[in-house]
């Protein structure tokens, strides 16, 4: 007896039609192959986690107020953590930030989702950098955004182009990763930061500053965040949303992020968060609060900065030495990534996707750059993370990349 398959009762929402799972995920499936040197991830190095510090903070959280640490909590966040985060931001030059000016989010990823949920209606225009963080592209598309890209150079987003695009499109918001961008590695210059804030005020445009990497500088601190600079540009604080995260500096598994935004937006975001996860894990928040209160962060930052700086330098030198003029890049000053462009010099491969396949066969992985463009992908680009690989393996990985490039 033949059986006719019943129609599935699972009928997806229209909004999903706009979004695909990323091509990068397919590549990640290959990373389990033994012996692969991976420059593909966006993770911090697990070997650098301050396990002892977090253990002490966990015990302190349970000792201090176990009832609160294990109970439901306020959607806005656990007050002792909001206080610590306001103090952390103050230590980075953000003036007059009170704990109630921020909400705690489940990673900064949730802040991005709340921004999409509260601000983006289908068809709304949103300007993002080309290239930008892949999960932001997908998240904003899920809410129906029409994404417009502003080009990025060695000084971050091209602000002349941004001025033209804002005038032409009147976007709902502009999303930038001004410091050690993912994937671009680029940092917006001080002069451009001022111009972005002035543009925001002049055109009454909301600017989202996503800043998970600003603390991971190598030699010199980057220019102050847009949020820190906002007190120099009258009216700009009201045009700014700032997303922060402990993921890259402490632990992504804690899922602690935060969002500073104008009060009306913070209130709507809090309402939406309530429907989504009620609140970020109180236990994780209490632990993070104890960690920050114990004053451990400066030493942790200093330690990881030094290690990432040496790895970045090893990668930059190896790329120059081994790949020469077949590759072009601006050495990063912080963060986790080298963003590079294949020039095709000497007949070498100049397609990041093709190279990624060949590279995997030779035991090295990276992410091709094309998926990081919301529009007009530059297929010659690639993102290389040096974060989780020691210097010898970085040199070995770049050798393998060189052989893939010339294959
Ligand atoms: N923004 C950017 C630019 C990122 O690179 C990441 C993590 N890769 C996030 C946001 C999300 O980080 P988290 O949710 O862990 O804070």
Which residues are 340's β-sheet partners? 329, 382
How far is it, in rounded angstroms, from Cα 330 to Cα 181?
A: 12
Residue 192 Cα to chain centre, angstroms: 20
Considering 20-29, 291-300, 346-355, the range whose residues carry the highest mean pLDDT is 291-300
Pocket test for ligand 1, best of 185, 247, 256 (most atoms within 8 A of CB): 247
76 contacts 267 by C-beta, under 8 angstroms: no
In this prediction the pTM is 0.96
Dihedral pair phi/psi, residue 218, rounded to 5°: -95, -70
What's the pLDDT score for residue 242?
Answer: 98
Task: Judge contact between 115 and 208, C-beta under 8 A.
Answer: yes
Query: Tens digit of pLDDT for each residue in 36-93?
Result: 999 998 899 999 999 999 999 999 999 999 999 999 999 999 999 999 999 999 999 9
Question: Measured between alpha carbons, how far is 1 from 308 in angstroms, rounded to an integer?
Answer: 64
CA of 5 to the centre of ligand 1 (A): 42
Backbone phi, then psi, for 383, in 5-degree steps? -115, 125
Residue nearest to atom 11 of ligand 1 (CA): 109
Q: What is the pLDDT of residues 129-171, one digit of tens each?
A: 999 999 999 999 999 999 999 999 999 999 999 999 999 999 9
Tokens encoding 63: 């000792």
The residue to mutate among 245, 255, 285, 367, having the most atoms of ligand 1 within 8 angstroms of its beta carbon, is 245
Cβ distance 316 to 344 under 8 Å?
A: no
Nearest-atom index, ligand 1, CA of 133 = 3
Q: What is the pLDDT confidence band of residue 353, given thresholds at 50, 70 and 90?
A: very high
ipTM over 0.95: yes
Model confidence at 28: pLDDT above 80: no
CB of 352 closer than 8 Å to CB of 368: yes
Average pLDDT over residues 183-206: 98
| Closest to 330 in 3D by CA, of 379, 376, 401, 384 | 384
Q: What are the structure tokens assigned to 86, written together?
A: 């306001």
Residue 113 CA to ligand 1 centre (angstroms) = 11
pLDDT of residue 4: 78
Q: Which residue carries 């005020």 as its tokens?
A: 201
C-alpha of residue 186 to centroid of ligand 1, in Å: 16
Instruction: Return the axis-axis angle of helices 190-203 and 159-169, rounded to nearest 10°.
Output: 10
Q: What is the pLDDT of residue 33?
A: 77
CA of residue 403 to ligand 1 center, whole Å? 32
Compute the distance from residue 42 Cα to the ligand 1 centre, in Å. Answer: 9
Which of ligand 1's atoms lies nearest the C-alpha of 181? 3
Q: Do the strands 173-176 and 125-130 form a parallel or antiparallel pair, or are they unpaired? A: parallel
The whole-chain average pLDDT of the chain stands at: 95
Which of 168, 171, 159 lies closest to 239 in space, CA to CA? 171
| CA nearest neighbour of 246 among 79, 91, 55, 105 | 105
**Residue 171 φ/ψ, nearest 5 degrees:** -70, 160
DSSP string, 14-54: GGGGG----HHHHHHHGGGSTT-EE----PPPGGGS-HHHH
Mutation test residue for ligand 1: of 42, 106, 107, the one with most atoms within 8 Å of CB: 107
Asked if 275 and 269 touch (Cβ cutoff 8 Å), the reply is no
Beta carbons of 383 and 372 less than 8 angstroms apart? yes
Rounded to the nearest whole angstrom, what is the distance from the C-alpha of residue 52 to the centroid of ligand 1? 24
Cα–Cα distance between 159 and 139 in angstroms, integer?
A: 24
Q: pLDDT tier at 122 (50, 70, 90 boundaries)?
A: very high
> Ligand 1: residues within 6 Å at CB?
42, 107-109, 133, 177, 182, 210, 212, 245, 247, 252, 257
Res 1: pLDDT = 57
Pocket mutation for ligand 1, best pick of 103, 135, 280 (most atoms within 8 Å of C-beta): 135
| DSSP class of 334 | B
**Alpha-carbon gap, residue 109 to 355, rounded angstroms:** 30
Q: What are the tokens at 325?
A: 């003029």
Ligand 1: nearest atom to the Cα of 247: 15
Please, what are the domains in the chain?
18-49+299-405 (3.90.1150.10), 53-295 (3.40.640.10)
DSSP H helix total and E strand total for the chain: 14, 14
Q: What percent of the chain has pLDDT over 70?
A: 98
Tell me the per-residue pLDDT of 3-26, one tens digit each, with 9 for 90 and over.
778 899 999 999 998 887 766 666
Closest ligand 1 atom number to CA of residue 255: 15
Separation of 307 CA from ligand 1 center, angstroms?
A: 20
Inform me whether the pLDDT recorded for 303 exceeds 80.
yes
Confidence grade of residue 2 (pLDDT, cut at 50, 70, 90): low
Q: What integer is the mean pLDDT of 197-225?
A: 98
Q: What sign has the CA pseudo-torsion 135, 33, 344, 326?
A: positive
CB 28 within 8 A of CB 290: no
Task: Please state, in angstroms and rounded to a whole number, the distance separating the CA atoms of residues 390 and 166.
Answer: 43
Asked whether 69 and 62 are in contact (CB, 8 A), the reply is yes
The pLDDT confidence band at residue 266, using thresholds 50, 70 and 90, is very high
């Amino acid at each position: 007896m033949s059986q006719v398959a019943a129609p599935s009762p699972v009928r997806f929402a229209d909004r999903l039609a706009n979004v695909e799972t990323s091509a990068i995920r397919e590549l990640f499936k290959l990373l389990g192959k033994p012996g692969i040197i991976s420059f593909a991830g966006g993770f911090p190095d697990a070997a650098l986690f301050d396990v002892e510090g977090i253990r002490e903070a966990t015990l302190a959280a349970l000792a201090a107020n176990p009832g609160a640490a294990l109970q439901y909590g306020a959607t806005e966040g656990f007050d002792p953590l909001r206080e610590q985060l306001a103090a952390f931001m103050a230590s980075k030059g953000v003036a007059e930030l009170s704990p109630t000016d921020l909400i705690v989010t489940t990673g900064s990823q949730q802040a991005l989702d709340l921004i999409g949920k509260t601000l983006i209606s289908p068809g709304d225009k949103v300007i993002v950098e080309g290239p930008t963080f892949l999960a932001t592209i997908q998240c904003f598309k899920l809410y129906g955004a029409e994404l417009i890209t502003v080009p990025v150079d060695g000084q971050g987003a091209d602000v002349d182009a941004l001025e033209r695009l804002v005038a032409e499109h009147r976007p709902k918001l502009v999303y930038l990763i001004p410091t050690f961008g993912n994937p671009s590695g680029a940092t917006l210059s001080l002069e451009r930061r001022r111009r972005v804030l002035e543009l925001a005020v002049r055109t009454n445009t909301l600017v989202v500053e996503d800043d998970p990497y600003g603390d991971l500088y190598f030699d010199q601190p980057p220019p102050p965040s847009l949020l820190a600079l906002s007190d120099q540009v009258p009216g700009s604080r009201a045009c700014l949303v700032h997303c922060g995260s402990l993921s890259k500096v402490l632990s992504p598994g804690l899922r602690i992020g935060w969002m500073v935004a104008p009060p009306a937006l913070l209130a709507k975001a809090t309402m939406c968060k309530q429907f989504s996860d009620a609140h970020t894990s109180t236990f994780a928040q209490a632990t993070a609060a104890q960690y920050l209160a114990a004053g451990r962060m400066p030493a942790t930052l200093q330690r990881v900065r030094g290690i990432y700086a040496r790895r970045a330098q090893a990668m930059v030198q190896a790329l120059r030495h081994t790949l020469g003029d077949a590759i072009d890049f601006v050495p990063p000053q912080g963060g986790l990534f080298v963003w590079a462009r294949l020039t095709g010099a000497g007949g070498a491969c100049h397609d990041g996707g093709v190279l990624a396949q060949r590279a995997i066969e030779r035991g090295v992985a990276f992410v091709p750059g094309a998926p990081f463009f919301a529009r007009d992908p530059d297929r010659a680009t690639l993102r290389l993370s040096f974060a989780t690989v020691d210097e010898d393996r970085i040199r070995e990985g770049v050798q393998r990349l060189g052989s893939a490039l010339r294959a």
